[in-house]
A = this chain, B = another copy of it.
Amino acid sequence: MINLELIKEIARPSPTKIALLVIDGLGGLPAPETGKTELETASIPNLDALAAKGICGLADPVAPGITPGSAPGHLALFGYDPISYNIGRGVLEAVGIDVELQPGNVAARGNFCTVDEKRLLIDRRAGRISTEKCTELCEMLDGMLIDDVQVLVYPVREHRFVAVFRGKDLASDVTESDPQQTGVAPLSINALSQESKRLADIANKFIAQAKTRLAEQHPANMVLLRGFSLQPDLPTMSEIYKLKPLAIAIYPMYRGLARLVGMEVTETGTKLEDEFATLKQNYANYDFFFLHVKWTDSAGEDGDFDRKVKVLEQIDAALPELISLEPDVLVVTGDHSTPAVLKGHSWHPVPVLLCSKYCRHDAVQSFSEPAFIAGGLGRIYATQIMPLAMANALKLAKFGA
């Protein structure tokens, strides 16, 4: 597979513009009653027209058979090998709430939870306390200094928070304290290597102190930590592609992922129309745009086939606003499939469409999984989408003499 060093060598800046529209969880599976997927069921004339005009295919985010999380799904779309560059959950949660991590920091996801007098878990989410309460409790825990490591605690939403361990010599391969069930005690955190003993020890001390400080705060009288991970050191998209990239995403995690690869992240509204309006306002000042649409994935995760169809139709209806900007290269794809019948992410390859002045055409006339099998892009890896987009934008020089 192509490596980023090679792309870095041949990438060159140019005035052309690339728009990457990521419809989260785009691919689906047939509903048993109709035999048609969400895309085949939806009335999406604008996407169909793009499919007829551009070149289509199916992309594997990681590899055939592998179901990706949101992080590997997006990293692959940005051209980063999702296996080499694995982003931990703690880091993901932290960057998603605008926490600035420093090299060597370890982040973990936290839950406020409820334990009984025997220390057994009664509620892993402390009755989903309000975000205000969570903020108040985080302040009670924030800033501890344990063995020269500062522990910073940031509220996320409801019972969820992020703990950042800031200090030297931290390795993140430790077990989690969340037993993922009630009726048992929270687990102690164990090191999985010699190097991570220090972090395990500090994390256990933090939890012990948190328990003491939260003793009177029923139902949020304890914390659970999971997803310990180190801040990764990723080359930025500007370094690799010589692009000036802008991310437009409503949900924090996707803004966070974009930030990890060095994109600028802008404020936008809460609707797809807002995202497209934000794109229009910023169109002159950037040459790469990552637009993220979440609701297809949420509908798929909920197993709501009809809602996923409706969301697809809404996206299609809004699309002319994006098309009217006439980006030199328009890519429409997803970070992974989320078939409603599976109620979750899946391993199925994701439809990918590329439109440019220089793409070959194929026989595909509609935007769907079965139609895209015959597409001219064939079956590719999602990491190959960025090189293709760059090539079609004439931003890659020739390789070799």
Contact = CB atoms under 8 A, between A and B. Distances in A.
Interface of A: 1-3, 6, 10, 29-30, 35, 37, 58, 62-72, 82-83, 86-89, 92, 227, 339, 341-342, 344-348, 358, 360-363, 369-370, 373-380, 384, 386-391, 396-401
A373 B363 contact: yes
A191 B77 CA distance: 37
A345 B398 contact: yes
A400 B379 CA distance: 22
Contact of A66 (B72, B376, B387): B387
Given A370-B361, A400-B82, A388 B65 contact: yes
A358 B342 contact: yes
Given A63-B2, A360-B369, A88 B401 contact: yes
The SS class assigned to the A binding surface is loop
A366 to B, nearest CB: 13
Nearest to A90: B401
Contact of A401 (B66, B69, B377, B387): B69
Nearest to A28: B360
21 contacts: A1-B63, A62-B400, A63-B384, A64-B377, A66-B387, A66-B391, A66-B399, A67-B391, A68-B400, A69-B399, A72-B399, A82-B400, A86-B400, A348-B360, A360-B370, A362-B370, A363-B370, A370-B376, A373-B376, A374-B374, A379-B379
A69 B398 contact: yes
A69 B397 CA distance: 10
B69 A396 contact: no
Contacts of A386: 65
Contacts of A87: 400-401
Contacts of A345: 398
Given A2-B66, A347-B387, 19 more contacts: A10-B66, A63-B384, A64-B387, A65-B390, A67-B398, A67-B399, A68-B398, A69-B400, A72-B400, A88-B401, A89-B401, A345-B398, A347-B391, A348-B360, A361-B370, A363-B373, A373-B375, A373-B376, A378-B378
A29 B375 CA distance: 16
Contacts of A358: 29, 339, 341-342, 346
Nearest to A342: B358
A390 B399 CA distance: 27
Given A373-B378, A398-B345, A384 B29 contact: no
A30 B360 contact: yes
Given A69-B400, A361-B35, A62 B370 contact: no
A35 B65 CA distance: 35
A370 B376 CA distance: 7
Contacts of A70: 401
B387 A58 contact: no
Contacts of A89: 401
A227 B401 contact: yes
A92 B341 CA distance: 44
